[in-house]
Amino acid sequence: MFTTKVFIRKNKIGNFLKNIREHYLRDDLFCGFTSCNVCKPEDTALSSNIENKSGLFNYPHYLILDTNIILDQMDILEEDVICNVIILHTVLKEVKHRSLAIYKRLNAVIDNPNRHFFVFINDHHRECYVPQEDTELINDYNDRCIRTACLWYINHIPDAKFVFITDDARNRALAEEENITTCSIEQYVRSIKENNLLEDKLAKRDYHVESDTQDLFPAHLTVTQVQEGIKEGRLHQGTYRASTSNFLEGFVSVDGYEDAILVQGRSGQNRAIDGDLVAVEIFKEQDWIAPSEIILEDESRVDTAVEEVLLKENELKEYSTGKKKKEKAKPTGCVVGIIRRKWRPFCGILQQDAPEGALYHLFVPADKKFPKIRIETRQAEFLKTQKIVVVIDDWPRYSRYPAGHFVRALGKIGDQATENEVVLLEHDVPHSKFSEEVLSCLPKLPWIITEEDVAKRTDLRHLDICSVDPPGCTDIDDALHCREIEGGMLEVGVHIADVSHFIRPGSALDVEAASRATTVYLVDKRIDMVPALLSSNLCSLRGGEDRFAFSCVWEMDKNANILKTKFHKSIIRSRKAMTYEEAQLTIDDKSRNDSIAQSLRNLNNLAKILKQRRLEKGALVLASPEVKIRMDSETMDPIDVEVKKLFETNSMVEEFMLLANISTAEKTLKDFPDCAMLRRHPEPPKINYEPLVKAGKHLGFEIKTGSNKELAISMDNAVKEDNPYMNTMLRILATRCMMQAVYFASGMFQKEDYYHYGLAVPLYTHFTSPIRRYADIIVHRLLAVSIGADVTYPDLLDKHKTSDLCQNLNYRNRMAQLAGRASVAFNTHLFFRGKLQDEEAYILSVRKNALQILIPRYGLESTLYLSQKGKKSIFEYNEEDQTQKYEDVVFHAFDPVIVRLALDSNNIQREKLVLQLVFPVVKGFSIPPLNEEHKRKVETDQKKTKAKKSKKK
Amino acid sequence: MSRKELLSKIGLRADGRRAQELRRIRCKLGVFTEPDGSAYIEQGLTKVLAAVYGPHQVRGGRSKAQYDAAIVNCQFSMAVFSTGERKRRPRGDRKSTEMSIHLKQALMATIKTELYPWSQIDVYVEVLHADGGVYAACVNASTLALIDAGIPLKEYVCACTASLANNDIPMVDISYQEEVLGGPTLTVAALPMSEKIVLMEMTQRFHLDHLPKVLKEALRGCKDIKVILDEAVRNHLVNVGSSSGWVKNK
Amino acid sequence: MKIQVRLATQRVDPSVAINYRSPKIFTPGEVITVQDEFMRGHGTYEEDGYLKSSVAGVKQQVNKLISVRPLKSRYNGEIGDVVVGRITEVQQKRWKVDTNSRLDSVLLLSSVNLPGGELRRRCAEDEHMMREYLQEGDLISAEVQNVHSDGSLSLHTRSLKYGKLSQGVLVKVFPSLIKRSKTHFHNLPVGISIILGNNGFIWICPPINNEEDNVGGFVQNLEEVIPRTERETIGRLRNCILALAQSKMLLYDTSILYAFEESLKYSVSELLIPESMVDVAMSTQHRINMLEND
């Protein structure tokens, strides 16, 4: 049947487990050459018509790559100039083992037929297999396998030429001994004609090269040293998180310590980058220090890097030491080894201050958590105007900054489109156009409802259904109705767009939607989860049109007690698509008595009861400073920033959506105890509440955090007459204490962990927005199965698959949220370009050298520095009370202030909002107000203080 | 795409097989002289010995004997060294009892027990090395041992495992590594010539959409195995027959 | 004596097969022929109008009766067969005997020669005395008197040849290896007697002197000391039989004798080494072939 030879590989691991695996060798594997008449021909990507153009080898040749080339130089390989490449299976396996991300990228290249990459399975080939020798290291063995395959090719296809590329000098030498043509990637790339600045993309990674320059960082421990250290308990493993406010500080959270381990300064951080899995050594307790509360930014240039960092380190030291600090000392340590790098491509710009014509430049990532990266480029003048993508290759000990290489340019700095691109890239939002394959899954227009459809669904077109959404909404996924039925009862229906009718499981469209997971809303752009035909037309429950819906219909009494719940697929015709404002007006307009107005009023009344009941159970009312940016429809420039207005109807719609979600969660869990997709919101650990409780204490309120109900009550009580915004600020703070709500598969958690803390419900899921959330589609499918309207498919019932899917959904949701915020932030900046404005604001928190300021009108949070660079602050910081004091003026948390907003555009590389204090007046620090109203306020205040002073005298 | 993908994109499994390929099967009949029939089988690295005693007078408690058919008694056991970790495996634990019952079910389907009233047939299987598909190997070894013992069978009973690679492509004859990494595994014991399924077992639930193709693959595996076993039986017979000179005992 | 332990890979193939033209082999489930013309014999069954084989073996046809004979199976008794068996149970008026058959065989009290003459009447006292004659564990030689419908055998020992066995060695081989012949009692020229039971049980003992007594063979003389040379010969014969059995060669007086002669170049204990066993079997095979070809 098939020819095999068996080799047995034994390896012993850990507890002397004997693993024996079979390894079949085959003689039916294809070499990839159509000219070969020994092998059985199959499809091949290699082509004799395509040539690699290299000056070094000016004859047609095929490339065989070593593993290190693929791991390090993926950016080069993604370029079209390199083709006719043979990827050995040994190499492919090693790449997969070492980096899944690179493996995926490599697969994308292999799958592209235009690139002519061919995978040769050498390790199962009868003639290319070599057994590993007893004392041989795995790396040497792999190298030998690769060379054996090279030799085999040379003998197998005598009329073709092969070039073996490797950056491992030893391997190259051995290959030369065996008469294999070989060179390094750098030599090869340099020799390519028309190389189009390909050299910029070369990753520079020195192997075993000692440098003469002075080492700036301590050496990392080797892998075995780290493993031993962890085993013995000397070292600890954890993920490194850079501080967002201080570039010389970071934290590593490790098991067994409640507080994250503080690492400070160059030697402490020791080249760790945010997200890396590192090994830390924890100092003795007497050497522990407190986290500095200062804000430090890296302002160095490529040539002054070292001096700058020394200066800043000293500054930091000053803050962190001192006797008082001892009490607040946190576990401190230093990074001694990196277990796994979490490097990814970074978006950002070149630092502008490099001299013209320089080869080395500093790249500044958009995200402040990451260090600057040193790159080599010959097109700096052009790149300076661009947002670019750069990856890190290496961070040698002698270099202040990691070394990286340029990948691609995104567009001009400051352009809306470029910035959107950056936001999307930084947050890993898939935003390419929908592929032809995906679009082919869409229904053909004109779309009509067939008899068959009608027969399968409940016809609800006679009901007075309407939708209520924000203005300008085109993806309407929910609609409501309410009518009186026999016995004085009310029938309430929530109708959700039936997206799962159009997106069939397993189709390209489904796969794409699952990968996107959510629609991403940027200020001026919406990245749809599903193509517009569905999101804005066929699925959107537009007024006056027949649409498919998934209906959840309750029978309720007037006290909003649910007597019966029904789910069915239906056809509806929304009477009207209203905005929140319109709906509110309809309710308030006493003269209107039509059925829509009545049903809205009924709904509103029920919603109030539901809300009340929910709050009693302990649901939290949280706040976040959300704003809407009004855009000029022509120029797409922001013309105004405003806080979102809320009507009663907002809450009305929300209540019914919550109710529908809860009902669905109960139903799906009952029918699918193992694979229902639910949403949980874990209770945050007590330590998260610390800032909130502290802030409350300073204001004289006790914030209890025992349960969500206690928290809700104590926040309700924390009201100050003279500062109405304070309560909102408390709620904003509370929001920041919360954990992220996440999707999960019911089979993966214990029942008690299903709880939704924020909503105070035992079960919750998402059902009501299938157009913009993939989770809802899954929930729709489950529900459709449980009411018998649809059939299952394998992945739907696999709790592991569902769990994997949840991971992706959670990740994408988080990223979408962050992307949305980043977009708002950018547009706010844009709005302030060339403007000066005084605004009322509040102090959110008091730092050692700065105040964290919240400006409610713009939902903006920013830092007001109290000291200039290099100068000593005139304020006196009281750590106990968390106050800053100068003469009579004392800043507490939550105090109202007036600040001036301006955009600092001198520094084009990173435009930032600069705050200046206007009120209260602090001599030598505050600045005079701009407008009359504020002037008056300042004047009256000054009079008051004078009066006070004179009194004292 | 995950690290644990069972079938690489070039279509090979971790051990170098394609999805539809069985592992190498080697087998031998008549390995012992004491029992009436015996056999040894290797399916990949899974190695099983089987011994058959009987049909003989029912021993120990005549009440078990049946007036119209022979009773079949199966006993499954695993050697302490059969898995990566050395482990005492007392006879009669839950797993081996279950295995014994399943084995009996498969063998009862093919043994013509009605020919031997009042008697008993004992089948003992011992797993020397377990590397996936243990049950299947036991069934195949027992079949060979029964044939060696000259006990009349309707036909060969063969068993084979199948599973899904990458949740999509059915693959046959699952190794231990694939059992651990992969999803549910289906074990089928069948009479390959008449295409009757005599036993089916799943480690986890399959979705109904997947089951037919996995089952089809497992059945195809059974048929392939039957061909291999049949060849082994013929070779054995020719060998023995030639030694004794094909002398007819009449 | 040296103890030899060897790896499986160093195992010697005991096969001494020679290229006979092998007849057609049938395996279980294989179709032999369309049913309606033929009669169904042993090792076959009928399904869907076909006659199929149920065992692996060769086809035998007697007129319209088709049967398939497996090369190896439990002993299928036939009337007149000589068997060696072991008493497993003493019941009323009968003994149960293990004869390597599918079911235990029966030896009726009425089918044995009791001391005191052949024509003696069996009385109730004899029933009480049964255990005195034969008890559990005793070995006997007997002849198959009758085959019952369920396949079980009735034995008798009503000849002076049969009866309880005294000092000697029992060797068990597969019944199929015993060649059927006119006599299964042999006094080999090497001074040893041998009973080749059709059921695969072979009894090797010092020469039997039939004239000595005629008490129906219920006497065991366990006091008598068998000389060492005889014991050695018995041991050598046993090992020769095992060597032939291992190589699946038929056992009958000539083959055993040849094997004995061929084995003389080895010591008795050396005959347990696989190589010498195969060597003996090969040489025997060779001599038999010469004999047949002559």
Res A777 pLDDT > 90: yes
| Chain B positions in Cβ-Cβ contact with residue A4 (cut-off 8 Å) | 16-17, 24
pTM value is 0.73
Q: What is the pLDDT of residue A75?
A: 82
Using DSSP bridges, classify how beta strands A332-340 and A277-282 pair: parallel, antiparallel or unpaired.
antiparallel
Q: What ipTM does the predicted assembly reach? A: 0.89
Over range A331-359, report the average pLDDT: 82
Side chain identity at residue A657, one-letter code: M
Mutate to test the interface with C, among B191, B230, B240, B244 (most CBs of C within 10 A): B244
Whether B1 is covered by a domain: the verdict is: no
Residue B249 pLDDT:
41
| A178, A130 contact by CB (below 8 A) | no
Directed axis angle between helix A508-516 and helix A774-786, to 10°?
A: 120
| Residue indicated by tokens 């396996």 | A93
More confident residue, C96 or A368: C96
Name the helix (H) or strand (E) containing A852: strand A850-855
Question: What counts of helices (H) and strands (E) characterise chain A?
Answer: 25, 37
Residues in chain B with CB shorter than 8 Å from the CB of C25 are 234, 237-238, 241
Q: Which residue of B has its CA nearest to A27?
A: B16
Within a domain: B7: no
pLDDT given at position A301? 66
Rg of chain A (C-alpha set) = 32
Distance CA(A413)–CA(C65), nearest Å, equals: 98
| Angstroms from C211 CA to nearest CA on chain B | 33
Which residue in A has a C-alpha nearest to residue B207's C-alpha?
Answer: A794
Question: DSSP code of B103?
Answer: H
Reported in sequence order, the residue ranges of A591-730 that DSSP labels E, i.e. its strands, are: 627-631, 638-643, 677-680
Residue C235 scores a pLDDT above 90:
yes
Provide the number of structural domains found in chain B: 1
Least CB–CB distance from A24: residue in B15, B205, B224:
B15
CA A210 – CA A219 distance, rounded (Å): 12
Q: How is residue A152 written in tokens?
A: 């085999």
Mean pLDDT within A822-838: 80
Residue B250 banded pLDDT, cuts 50, 70, 90? very low
Q: What is the CATH number of domain A223-426?
A: 2.40.50.690
Q: What pLDDT sits at residue A794?
A: 78
Token pair listed for A124: 């199962």
Q: At what angle do helices B94-108 and B134-148 cross, to 10 degrees?
A: 50
Regarding chains C and A, contact by 3 or more CB pairs under 8 A is answered as no
Of the pLDDT bands very low, low, confident and very high (cuts 50, 70, 90), residue A7 is low
Q: Which residue of A has its CA nearest to B164?
A: A794
* Yes or no: domain A43-192 corresponds to CATH 3.90.1170.40: no
Q: Is B2 on the interface with C (CB under 8 A)?
A: no
The domain spanning residue C63 has which CATH number?
2.40.50.100
Residue A341 has pLDDT above 90, yes or no: no
Q: Report the alpha-carbon distance of residue A87 to residue A46 in Å, rounded.
A: 11
CATH value at residue B74: 3.30.230.70
- CATH placement of domain A833-952: 2.40.50.140
pLDDT average, residue stretch A706-712: 85
A211, pLDDT greater than 60: no
Higher-scoring residue by pLDDT: A693, C9? A693
What does the pLDDT look like over B12-70, one tens digit per residue? 888 888 899 999 999 999 999 889 999 999 998 899 999 999 899 887 767 788 888 99
Determine, for residues A19 and B205 on separate chains, whether the beta-carbon distance falls below 8 Å. no
Chain B residues closer than 8 Å to A801 by CB: 167
Q: What is the pLDDT of residue A798?
A: 82
Among A6, A22, A794, the residue with its CB nearest the CB of B167 is A794
Q: Is the pLDDT of residue C196 over 90?
A: yes
Residue at B74 is within a domain: yes
Nearest chain B alpha carbon to C78:
B250
Chain C, nearest residue to B115 by Cα:
C150
Task: Count chain B–chain C contacts defined by CB atoms under 8 A.
Answer: 132
Question: Do B224 and A1 make contact, defined as CB atoms within 8 angstroms?
Answer: yes
Contacts of residue A42 in chain B, CB cutoff 8 Å? none
Chain mean position to CA A154? 47
Residues of chain C contacting B238 with CB distance shorter than 8 Å: 17, 22, 25
The count of structural domains within chain C is 1
Task: Quickly list DSSP for A732-798.
Answer: HHHHHHSPPPEEEEGGGS-GGGG-BTTTTBS-----S-TTTBHHHHHHHHHHHHHTTSS---GGGG-
- What are the start-end ranges of the H helices in A384-507? 416-426, 436-439, 451-456
Query: How far separated are the first and last CA of chain A, in Å rounded?
Result: 108
Higher-confidence residue of C17 and A250: namely: A250
What gap in Å lies between CA A304 and CA A300, rounded to an integer? 6
**Is residue B107 situated within a structural domain?**
yes
Does the structure show a pLDDT above 50 at B1? no
Taking the C-alpha atoms of residue B32 and residue B53, their distance in angstroms, rounded to an integer, is: 11
Q: Can you give the pLDDT at residue A14?
A: 55
Residue B20 lies in a domain: no
DSSP string, A141-169: HHHHHHHHHHHHHHHHSTTS-EEEE-S-H
Residue C49 domain flag: yes
Query: What value does the mean pLDDT take over residues B98-120?
Result: 93
CA distance A726 to C147: 107
pLDDT at B141: 96
* Residues pairing with A913 in the sheet: A903
Residue A516 tokens read as 């996107």
Same fold, A223-426 and A833-952: yes
Strand partners, C97: C87, C105
Instruction: Answer whether the bond into residue A446 is a cis peptide, omega within 30°.
Output: yes
Q: Residue A208 — pLDDT band, cuts 50, 70, 90? A: very low
Position A412 pLDDT exceeds 80: yes
Residue B121 inside a domain? The answer is yes
Average pLDDT of the residues of chain A: 82
Predicted confidence band of residue A552 (pLDDT cuts 50, 70, 90): very high
The pLDDT of A171-199, averaged and rounded, is 82
**Are A364 and A349 a contacting pair, CB within 8 Å?**
yes
pLDDT grade for A952, boundaries at 50, 70 and 90: low
Decide if B76 touches C, using CB distance below 8 A: no
| Higher per-residue pLDDT: A185 or B234 | B234
Q: What is the pLDDT of residues C34-89, one digit of tens each?
A: 877 888 889 999 988 899 999 999 998 888 899 998 988 899 889 999 999 999 99
**C60 domain residue, yes or no:** yes
Under a CB-based contact definition with an 8 Å cutoff, are residues A906 and A922 in contact? Answer: no
* pLDDT for position A451: 85
Distance, in Å, from the CA atom of A573 to the CA atom of A772, rounded to the nearest integer, reads 21
Edge to edge, the sheet with strand C169-172 lists C169-172, C201-205, C192-196, C185-188
Rounded Cα distance between C54 and C67, Å, is: 10
Whether C222 maps to a domain, the answer reads no
What six digits make up the tokens of A896? 């109202």
Q: Using a CB-CB distance cutoff of 8 angstroms, which residues of chain B are in contact with residue A1?
A: 21-22, 224
Q: Do A20 and B167 touch (CB under 8 A)?
A: no
* Domain extent listing, chain A: 43-192, 223-426, 436-620+629-672+767-815, 833-952
pLDDT of residue B126: 95
pLDDT grade for B2, boundaries at 50, 70 and 90: very low
A565-609 pLDDT tens trace: 999 999 999 998 999 989 999 998 888 888 889 899 999 999 999
Q: Using CA coordinates, name the residue in chain B closest to C172.
A: B34
Q: Does residue B250 form part of some domain? A: no
Average of per-residue pLDDT across A412-437: 83
For the four alpha carbons of C262, C266, C270 and C273, in that order, the dihedral sign comes to negative
Q: Which carries the bigger pLDDT value, residue A495 or residue C2?
A: A495
Q: Is A100 on the interface with B (CB under 8 A)?
A: yes
Query: What backbone phi and psi angles, to 5 degrees, belong to C73?
Result: -165, 180
Higher-pLDDT residue of B160 and A826 is B160
Nearest C-alpha in B relative to A107:
B9
- Largest Cα separation within chain B, whole Å, is 67
Evaluate the CA torsion angle C63, C67, C73, C74 in order and state its sign: negative
**Least confident segment among A669-673, A875-879, C58-62:** A875-879
Residues of C in contact with B233 (CB under 8 A): 27, 56
CA distance B221 to B190: 10
Q: Is the pLDDT of residue A447 over 90?
A: no
Q: Is residue B9 part of a domain?
A: no
Tell me which residue range forms the domain holding B179: 25-239
- Is the pLDDT assigned to residue A715 strictly greater than 90? no
Q: Please state the length of chain C.
A: 294
Residue C149 CA to residue A449 CA, distance in Å, equals 77
Does residue C37 belong to any structural domain of this protein? yes
User: C100-142, pLDDT tens digit by residue?
Assistant: 999 999 999 888 887 666 566 667 778 888 888 888 999 999 9
**pLDDT surpassing 50 at residue A207:** no
A6 touches chain B (CB under 8 A): yes
A chain contacts of residue B12, beta-carbon cutoff 8 Å: 121, 124
User: Is a pLDDT exceeding 80 seen at residue A493?
Assistant: yes
Preferred mutation among C74, C184, C289 to probe B, highest tally of B CBs within 10 A: C74
Rounded Cα–Cα distance for residues B144 and B122 (Å): 14
CA distance C29 to chain B (A): 4
Q: For position C218, what pLDDT does the model report?
A: 67
Which two tokens mark C66?
């088709």
Amino acid, res. A324: K
By the 8 A CB rule, do C163 and C220 touch?
no
Nearest-by-Cβ selection for B84 from A8, A17, A121: A17
> Around Cβ A773, how many Cβ atoms within 10 Å?
25
Whole domain around residue C39: which residue ranges? Answer: 24-70
| Helix, strand or coil, per DSSP, at residue A944 | helix
